[in-house]
Amino acid sequence: MKVTVKLFALLGQYLPPNAENNQIELEVDQGATPKSVFAGLKVPPEHCHLVLVNGTYIEPGQRGIHVLKEQDALAAWPPIAGGNTLSVGGNTANIGGDANHKDSVTA
């Protein structure tokens, strides 16, 4: 089955040479998970800080059991510096530091 894999920032180095705009369509096995796709690309799991499937956040504990479907879009970002909150789909989480700090990261 085919899925689109998008790796941003420094993770882009793990994409095959024929990738364009930080993404590539890959043929993966039925039952593939984000974890198995990243392993196939040799992306270190600790470098996948934010993982989305079709725009929905996948928690670290779910990345090895969330089964991908045909035409899913799998995206990952590495840890980034500079803020202390993360906003995904209207949900905001403090990711360290001062909870009153005004910087934020929006995905």
Kindly report the length of the chain: 107
Q: Could you report the per-residue pLDDT of 85-101, keeping only the tens digit for each?
A: 555 555 555 555 444 44
Q: Is 80 exposed, middle or buried (0-12, 13-18, 19+ CB in 10 A)?
A: middle
Kindly list the distances between the CA atom of residue 77 and the CA atoms of 6, 30, 31, 41, 99, in Å, as whole numbers in the listed order: 9, 24, 23, 14, 22
Class of domain 2-79: alpha beta
pLDDT digits 0-9 by tens, 61-86: 999 999 999 999 999 999 987 655 55
* Beta strands 105-106 and 91-94, pairing class: unpaired
